[in-house]
Amino acid sequence: MSMSSSINAEERRLAQQRQQDCLDAAIFAGCKAGGTALFVSGGLCAGLLKYSEFFRSHFTAGAKASFIMLPAFYSFWWASEKSVARCSQDGSKARFKKLLGISKPSNISSASVLTRLQAHPKFSQQFKQLPNYRAALDLHLMLHDMVGRQAPLRRAPTTVSDAQGVLLRHAVAGELKGWPLMVQPGFVYSKSSVFTADHSLTPHLEMETSVAGNGSRMLLYINMDPRLPLELYPAYLERYYNSAPPGSNTSAGSSSWLQLEDRAAATPSFTRFVSSSLHVRVFSASAILFWVNGTADGLAAVRRTVADAVSIWLSWLAAGGTNSAALPAALRAAAGPAAVPSNAAEQKKLLSDMATFSAAWRNFPRRDAAAARMAQAFGAEAMEQVYSSTAGSPAIRLPAR
């Protein structure tokens, strides 16, 4: 073996060790924090991929743009009981603590872990190469933490999809028991989804962000996905979108969804975005969907908007309880007296239609205009794993306890 080959092999070995160190450190942080950990892959950049046509059709409405896509860049893990045991057995706690500068993180948040990683020499340059990506990722972390504070998170075992993207999957306690919250950060596009139970009348919550390659602007999509077709159930539209949640104790939560959209539209840094894709337009009728300037004012405004949107959704969640469409009182409150089935057959059909409608939201990315190009870039199998996860397929759903 040549000297050059030996050096390259050693570099690969060290790179693999650094990746494992980071993974182990994240798992350890999760062990100490009650189960949540941030994993940053050592996979780094798979190359600067220019998808002008792809993003023009999906995001930019005719404007040519290049986007940096980083497979396996940021991902989230739940530390399982097995990981906790390994942390205790391998005697490497001190090394983990030294890596992340952690002493006793009794209640560490995902955002604080990200802050430590951003300061780490191994990752600081990557943040610099992605203007304003930190700001976009922060929005997803904020959503995660806000939901986590209201619905305490359970530990849950999970699996890695593959090197091109790892998803956070977990169940939460209380009324959310068995409902997965999934975050798919990666590339300059990130998506977060909180899906409510199959027959719940409370809307799903989804957020997508995309940052232009030069960092000049960010695309924000955040939506309370309706559980009933708004065209057929105007009382449902009036309740969840034109009305403020009942009993909210925050100024943001006391606003209606459409009032929040109006505030966003009046913000100087915001410009409405209309997709060239009919599919996207159909599924974004109730969405808050804007281009946001990548300035300090714009980023501050988008953070306020996302925080307000999540607060409104959480207020509806708190007000709804189990909120099952199988309960006539809940259905009457959510969608009006006309929505209540008159017999068992009608109720069975309603619940079946709701499940079908929910599946359409969950499987939205599969039918997106970008799906074919994503499969070409990252492989059909890898993308199917992503879609299965964001669709909340039974394979990743934890049993209700």
Instruction: Write down the pLDDT at residue 215.
Output: 82
Write out pLDDT tens, residues 334-382. 999 999 999 999 999 999 999 899 888 888 878 877 778 777 766 777 6
Highest-scoring range by mean pLDDT, 207-211, 272-276, 286-290, 354-358: 286-290
292 residue type, one letter: V
Average pLDDT for 300-304: 96
Instruction: Write down the pLDDT at residue 381.
Output: 77
Highest-scoring range by mean pLDDT, 28-32, 151-155, 350-354, 372-376: 350-354
Residue 61 pLDDT class (50, 70, 90 cuts): very low
Indicate if the pLDDT at residue 265 is higher than 50. yes
pLDDT, greater one: 345 or 164: 345
Indicate if the pLDDT at residue 35 is higher than 50. no
pLDDT, greater one: 323 or 151: 323
For 121, counting Cβ atoms within 10 Å of its Cβ (0-12 exposed, 13-18 middle, 19+ buried), the class is exposed
Average pLDDT for 313-327: 83
Instruction: Write down the pLDDT at residue 125.
Output: 66
First to last CA, the chain: 57
Indicate if the pLDDT at residue 1 is higher than 80. no
Cβ neighbors of 195 (< 8 A, separation 6 or more) are 179, 180, 181, 182, 204, 358, 361, 362, 392
Name which of 184, 138, 194 is nearest 161 in CA terms: 184
Instruction: Give the span between the Cα atoms of 38 and 114, in whole angstroms.
Output: 7
Instruction: Give the span between the Cα atoms of 282 and 167, in whole angstroms.
Output: 26
CA–CA distance from 290 to each of 127, 261, 313, 356 (Å)? 24, 10, 19, 28
Of 72-86, 246-260, 381-395, the one with minimum mean pLDDT is 72-86
pLDDT, greater one: 169 or 332: 332
Instruction: Write down the pLDDT at residue 93.
Output: 38
Instruction: Write down the pLDDT at residue 269.
Output: 96
CA–CA distance from 118 to each of 19, 38, 122, 189 (Å)? 15, 12, 9, 19
DSSP state for residue 396 in the 8-state scheme: G
Indicate the fold that domain 46-75+130-396 takes in CATH: oxygen-dependent coproporphyrinogen oxidase (3.40.1500)
Average pLDDT for 216-230: 95
- Model-wide pTM > 0.75: no
Write out pLDDT tens, residues 266-282. 999 999 999 888 888 99
Sequence spans of domains, the chain: 46-75+130-396
